[in-house]
Each structure stands twice: as C-alpha cells, then as structure tokens.
Chain A
Amino acid sequence: MHLADLGYPVLVLAFIIAVFSAAASVLGASLRSESLTASGRNGIFVVAGLFTLAMAIMLYAFVTKDYSLKIVIYHASNDLPSLYSLCALYADKAGSLFFWGWLVALFAAILAIQKYRINREVMPYALAILAVVLAFFLALVTFVSDVFEASPQVPADGLGLNPLLQNFGMLIHPPLLYIGFAGFMVVFAYAIGALAARSPSSEWANGIRRWTLFAWCTLGLGNLMGAWWAYEELGWGGYWAWDPVENAGIMPWFLGTAFLHSIAILRKRQYLHVWSFLLIIFTFVFVLLSPFITHGGITSDLHGFKDSPFVPYVHVAMWFSLAVSVGLLIWHRRALIDAEPPRSVLSREAAFVATNIILSIIVVIVVAITAYPKAYEAIRAQAIALPGREWFDLSAGPILLLLVLFIGVCPVLGWKKSSPKAVGRRLLRPLLASAMAAGAVGLSGVGNWYVVAAFVCGFPLFTIVLEWVRGVRARHATKGDNYLIAWPRLVWSNRPRYGGFIVHIGIILITLGVIGSSMYDVEALQTVNRGEVMFVQDYGLTYDGLSIEQSESKVTATAKVVVSRDGAPVATLHPQNNYWFRVGDYYAEVAIRTTPAEDLFVVLADYDMEGPDLGEWAIIRAKVNPLVVWMWIGGGLMLIGGAIAFWPERRGRSPAGGGA
C-alpha cells in the first residue's frame, strides 16, 4: 500500500468529525446534556489524533522523498537533509496551513484534557469554537487545495527547497509563530466560550492566563527569531524591514500584549471586561490577517505565496469571526459589569488603559501604512511601491519609545488611586538616575539617539531595579534571608509579577538594540584586491584571498578577511558566497564579529571567478551595527521571564510561606 494515499481520506474524516464535534458541543451546552458535550470533546481528541496521523504520513513522505506527492516534488530534493523536511512542509501554501491546523488540533486536545472536567460551563463553547476553526483549516487543506495532491508523474528528483530556508533559524522561527498563532486561537476560543456561557471574569481570566502567556511569549520569540534569521542569513545587514508579512506577525503580538495586561487587571480588579474581549477578538482577527497577507499576492518567495487559492476564504473567515464575536459581545454586554472604576487618573488601572490605547494606536498605524498601497491601487487604479521603513520608524517609533518609558511608570502606581506626592517621590530616583545616565552619555558625545536610549531604557530599568532592591531589603528584614538568596526567593515567591519584570527588562534591552542599530549603523561597499585594506568606521578589513570548495549541491567560495582595529588585528572572518546548482543563483553567508558594543557584519558580495588567479579581487560589504547583540540577549530574558511567569503557581501555600 502507498502510505501517502491514506493522507487525504484521514483529513476528510477529521473534517467530518470536527463539524460533528462543533455541533455536539453547542447542542450539548444549550440542552445541558453531558453526553453530547462529552461526545463533542471526544471528537476533538479524534480530530487531534487523525491530524497527527496525517502529519506523520506527510513527514514520512518528505523524509523518504516520496515524489508521488506534488508538495514533495515542489519543496524537497534528493540532496535536502531530512532535518529540513519540516521547513519544506511550511514552505508550501497548503503545507503551512496544514502545519498550523495540526498545532491548533493538538492545543485543543490539551485544553480539553486540562479544563473539561473543571469548567463544564465554558468548555463546550470553547471546544465548539476550536472545532469550527479546525473544520476551517481542514476544509482549506482538503477541498480548496489538497495538501496530499498526487502527481500524475513521479520524477526521480524534486525541485528542492529555497537555500535561504535551509537554515537552523527556519526550523525555529515559523514553528514559533504558528505556535503563537495557534495559542491565541485557543485563548480566543476560551474567552468567547466564557462570554457565551456568561462565566464570571474572575474564573475565565484566571483560567486562561497561562495560555495567554504561552501564546504571547512564543509569538514574540517567533518574531524575534525571524529578525535573527533575517540578520544572520539574508545578508542585507538588517533584521526588520516592516514588510507586510513581518507586520502581520507583529500586529497580533501588540494586541496580545494589550490583552495580557488587560486580563491581569481583570483577574485582580474585575475591570476592563469590554477592553479584554475586544482585544482578544481583534488579536484573533489579526492572527487570521497573517495568512490573508501571506497568501494575498505578496511577491516574495520567502515571505509570501503566489497564486494562493485561500485568500477569499480567509477573508470571509476574518469578517465572520469579527461579526459573530462582536455580536456576542453586544448581546451579553449587560453581564459584563466592571468593578468600581479607578478614583484617579493616577492609578494602575488608568495606566493599563493608556497602555492598551497606545498599543492599539500602534496597530492602527501599522495596518494603515501596510494597507495604503492596496487602498491607493483600489482608488486610483494605479499600483505604487510599498511604503519604506522610514514611514513606520517615524510614525510608530516614537510611540513605541513612549510605551517603553511607560514600563517604568506602571510599577509605582497603585490600584484605584495614588497620591501625586508618593508617585513623585518614587519616580524621583529612577528619573534622576536615568537623567544622569543620559547626561553622561550626552557628554561623551556619542550621539543624540544614545542620549534618548539612555533615558528611555534607563528609566524603566532603574524603576525595576529599585523595586527589586526594596523587595530584597524587605525580605532580608522580615525573613532574615541574606541578600544573595533573597533576590531569587523574591522572584520565586511571586512568579507572575517578577517574571513579568524580567520580560520587561528583555523588552528594554531589545529597544536599546533597535535604537543603536537603527540610528548608528555604518556601511561600506568596496572592491578590494588581494592584500588591500578597506575601512569601515574604525575597523580595517584586509582581504586575504579566498578558497573554493564544491559539493553535490553548491560551490562555496570562502574569503579570508583579517580585521584590525586601530592598527591591531582583532579577528579573522570568513564570509562565504554559495552558488546553488539547483537554483542557479548566488547566496551569501555572512560572517559576524559580535561584541557587547557592536557587530561587525561582513558579506562577500562578489569575487573574481575568471582570472588565472581565482579570487584576485572581491567585492566586500561591511557594516558596523551597534548594540545588536542586546536584542538577542533581550529575547533570551523574555524567554526566561516568560518561563518563570508561566511556571504553575503552587497550590495550598500562602505568599508569606504560611500553610493553607
């Protein structure tokens, strides 16, 4: 038997069961029939099982290079390492949705195992929503475009995977994004399920906190990994271009950030009900916007799919989910009673509302600029180029800086109201410290944007450090912990709070890296002969020839570039340029020298291939990117802080260590 033949019927079967599961869950919830809701829940398990079986069949086809399937022909080849089979899967239009749908199925099953027994009111609705989402994905990859479509002929070799996608970053970046997207779908389903079941916010907001954190962290890291991959692999020396697909990944993250903060308020103060629901609804819609943009005619081999048949269906799904969920919100609006509003603008609730507004404004700006060319084309019937990076930098950049500054204000504000005097007193020291740091940076004469960075990043950093110092002192005074052990104990004693602080430090470091590398990057492009030196900033780069190596799939030219600084040699870099036979094109592999202050980024753009002495000359592109490494360190802190906040809260112990 040909195993791949089983893929399509398995997916069709999963589709039928997903539809049944949705119907049984809704019917069971409205008739209050336990047997029907249990049947719907079992349907989710079956769909997850069948989806996993189909995924195993697909991966087996890729690993064994089964060219009877079109997807394998288009994206794999005999020389493709098995490790990149997964990359080949989501390099395909239907394959990417198949992978995403499989994650949703797994998460739905995990949610059902986790919460079905403990929340019988919300879960049938939540599972019904997830079943509809799964049915949608399954319909796309079976009826609209069969992911297991057979080829009439079976070639001996496939067309191969884009060399740029054969990179370690590609094994992490798309899966993290899809995990984040699928995670937010679960959060949406649970929140809307709670709305349908009229569940009190004190219950559902607690119930979904860790899922939200998980989705938020993975989506954030997915975006950051994409930036890292672009930086390490693409050779243009940057990491973020504000292209529509990047924007499609960052917008749900901004909205998810606002939602994450809103449910913190909901959990503690039963405030911001409507905000929270609107934010998760729009997060979901923007998650769907991602395939709409990716499949919507973006003419990029790396980020978009040409001639995708899915666009109209995704478009309908976006508007349908928006209409139904907002309709449900309006219908149940009377049940959403906020607790007493804050008594002062100078309160934590007000600060969180301001944060939500700022994040929403950023999303509006990004979506407006991203959609502008399409809107212009629709109105004027004339195509225009995509807006440049400076459009986004100039409009969204200052607001993002304001947001980072806000990280420093929120911890010193209290619930309901704060006295201006107390707030002023608590802000005084961080303000003074950051102003002094900014002043010192200004006096050093390195540049005005570094002064801004010192203040904007210094202020929230000092606030957080002072919060920790106070906490450590209190622990030392009240519990007798020595100062060294007091800090980890303080963090562990309230993981959601202090894990959040660590995540905030990660965001601050990322901001520092973005400011440094965006405002003070220096670039040089030069043709150099063997032994000749080129200069970029205070680095001297001596081109010392190149070596050629040929493998089955490519010819690799490796240049030797000796780097000196102020006359003293500091490193030897080996940038590469590969000619891929299958693609018939050249792709550079950059060489990077990283220090805490800056990266030296060297690309072998071209070289002498014809002379008797191969590599007599080379075209070298060199960039100095200040502070880039802090972005990746910030990403690491986000992961650590997120993991701390995500760690399950212990049951049955008091925060002060007393027994419960």
Chain B
Amino acid sequence: MAVAIAVILGLISAAIIMYPIASRWGVAPRASTGATEAPDAQAIFNKISDLDADFERGTTPEDVYTELRETYVKELEACGISDHVVPQALVMDEATLGDEIERQIAEMRKVPQQSAATRKALVCSKCGAPHEPNDKFCPHCGTRLTDDGSN
C-alpha cells in the first residue's frame, strides 16, 4: 500500500516537474527573458535618506555628499523614477550650520549698532529730536525733512 502511494506521489511529482518542458514540446527552446531584479526604489530612497541624515549631522563632507547623491539619483532614474524631485537635505551640515548661526548672530548684533548710528545721524537739525528715515517732517518741531532723511 505504501509503495502504491509512493508510486502515485512519484507520478504526480513527475507531472509537476515535467510540465514546463512538456508544455513547450516541439517548440524551440526559448531564451530566458533575462529578467533581473530591479533595484528597489524605496531602498534607494532610504540610501538617499541615510546620506542626507549623515550630511545634515556633519558626518559626510559636502563633496562626497554631492557625488554619492548624484549616483543614487541616477540609480533612481534607472528605476524609472525620472520625474521625481528628490528632496534636498533639509538641514545644513553641523559645522556649516554653526558658522551660519555665528554669522547671523554677528549680523543681528550689527543691526542695533547701525540703527543707533543711523538714529544719531537722523536727528532734526533744528530741534535735535530723532526721527525715522522715512519721515517727511520732524515729529517734534514739524520742520520739513528732505527725502534723504536730513533737513
């Protein structure tokens, strides 16, 4: 009985494995389609995301970042995602960011100094009261001011 079942299983197995060959019996062997595994778009996105994160945190220098990012974007284009606008890194390299903050702080510090200097310059020559650059008349004594802010 066991042998009989084994023979039946053997026949079923043979039918399953021979089916692809038998179904093409008499047909010339067809070349394999040569399909290869397309790179996964999301995997490439993740690579870009990693790279962005590394760049944002100052781990990867800018030249390497630009070069690798271009490579990954090309890989993405090879997946047929050519019209996709790959987002740029959202935050600057930490060192650059630090420099930028320093620069902006310096700028901010300059602004009140400039205002004070300007305010000092923008005073009514008649009464000596300060006025804003766009004022047409002195807010204190009413003397007409010229277009460049002086009287």
Interface digits, B28-65 against A, CB 8 Å rule (1 contact, 0 not)? 01111111111111110111111111101111110010
- By the criterion CB–CB under 8 Å, are B20 and A658 in contact? no
Chain A interface, DSSP helix/strand/loop, else mixed:
helix
B5 within 8 A of A: yes
B117 within 8 A of A: no
Task: A477 to B87: give the CA distance in the assembly, Å.
Answer: 16
By the criterion of a CB under 8 Å from any partner CB, how many residues of chain B are at the interface? 59
Task: A472 to B46: give the CA distance in the assembly, Å.
Answer: 17
Given contacts A2-B2, A268-B50, A412-B59, is CB(A35)–CB(B43) below 8 Å? no
- By the criterion CB–CB under 8 Å, are A658 and B84 in contact? yes
A660 within 8 A of B: yes
Task: A260 to B6: give the CA distance in the assembly, Å.
Answer: 42
Number of A-B residue pairs with CB-CB distance less than 8 Å in the complex they form: 196
- By the criterion CB–CB under 8 Å, are B54 and A35 in contact? no
B135 within 8 A of A: no
Q: Which of B17, B48, B52, B56 contacts A21 (CB 8 A)?
A: B17
Task: A425 to B98: give the CA distance in the assembly, Å.
Answer: 12
- By the criterion CB–CB under 8 Å, are B39 and A32 in contact? no
Contacts of A412 in B (CB 8 A): 59
- By the criterion CB–CB under 8 Å, are A497 and B46 in contact? yes
- By the criterion CB–CB under 8 Å, are B20 and A417 in contact? no
- By the criterion CB–CB under 8 Å, are A6 and B2 in contact? yes
Chain A interface extent, by class: 35 or more
Q: Which of A267, A471, A652, A653 contacts B43 (CB 8 A)?
A: A267
Given contacts A414-B54, A470-B57, is CB(A121)–CB(B34) below 8 Å? yes
Rounded to whole Å, the gap between the CB of A65 and the closest CB of chain B is 20
Given contacts A35-B29, A120-B34, is CB(A422)–CB(B95) below 8 Å? yes
Interface digits, A417-440 against B, CB 8 Å rule (1 contact, 0 not)? 111001001100000000000000
Task: A395 to B57: give the CA distance in the assembly, Å.
Answer: 37
A38 within 8 A of B: yes
Task: A39 to B81: give the CA distance in the assembly, Å.
Answer: 35
Chain B interface, DSSP helix/strand/loop, else mixed:
helix
Of B8-16, B121-129, B141-149, the one with at least 4 CB within 8 A of chain A: B8-16
Contacts of B45 in A (CB 8 A): 653-655, 660
- By the criterion CB–CB under 8 Å, are B20 and A42 in contact? yes
- By the criterion CB–CB under 8 Å, are A415 and B37 in contact? no
Contacts of B6 in A (CB 8 A): 6, 9-10, 13
Interface digits, A195-228 against B, CB 8 Å rule (1 contact, 0 not)? 0000100111011010000000000000000000
- By the criterion CB–CB under 8 Å, are A43 and B39 in contact? no
Interface digits, B66-106 against A, CB 8 Å rule (1 contact, 0 not)? 00100000010000010011110011001100000000000
Contacts of A334 in B (CB 8 A): none
Rounded to whole Å, the gap between the CB of B24 and the closest CB of chain A is 4
Contacts of B58 in A (CB 8 A): 422, 425-426
- By the criterion CB–CB under 8 Å, are B49 and A656 in contact? yes
Interface digits, A506-528 against B, CB 8 Å rule (1 contact, 0 not)? 00000000000000000000000
Contacts of A660 in B (CB 8 A): 41, 45, 81, 84
Closest to B76 in A: A660
Task: A1 to B1: give the CA distance in the assembly, Å.
Answer: 6
- By the criterion CB–CB under 8 Å, are B13 and A31 in contact? no
Given contacts A6-B2, A33-B29, A115-B37, is CB(A418)–CB(B61) below 8 Å? yes
Task: A490 to B50: give the CA distance in the assembly, Å.
Answer: 12
Chain A contact residues, CB within 8 Å of chain B:
1-2, 5-6, 9-10, 13, 17, 20-21, 24, 28-29, 31-40, 42-43, 45-46, 50, 53, 115, 117-122, 199, 202-204, 206-207, 209, 267-269, 411-419, 422, 425-426, 467, 470-471, 474, 477-478, 493-494, 496-497, 649-656, 658-660
Further contacts, 20 of them, CB under 8 A, given A122-B37, A417-B64, A493-B49: A17-B17, A34-B29, A35-B29, A35-B30, A36-B21, A39-B18, A46-B16, A50-B13, A122-B36, A268-B50, A414-B54, A415-B68, A418-B59, A422-B95, A425-B95, A497-B46, A649-B46, A652-B41, A653-B45, A655-B87
Task: State the 8 A-B residue pairs at the shortest beta-carbon distance, nearest first.
Answer: A655-B49, A414-B60, A38-B20, A9-B6, A5-B2, A649-B42, A656-B87, A1-B1
A sample of 26 cross-chain residue pairs with beta-carbon separation below 8 angstroms, ordered by A number, consists of A1-B1, A2-B2, A5-B1, A13-B6, A13-B10, A21-B17, A35-B20, A35-B30, A40-B17, A43-B17, A46-B16, A118-B37, A120-B36, A122-B37, A412-B59, A414-B54, A415-B60, A415-B64, A415-B68, A422-B58, A422-B61, A474-B90, A494-B49, A652-B41, A654-B45, A655-B49
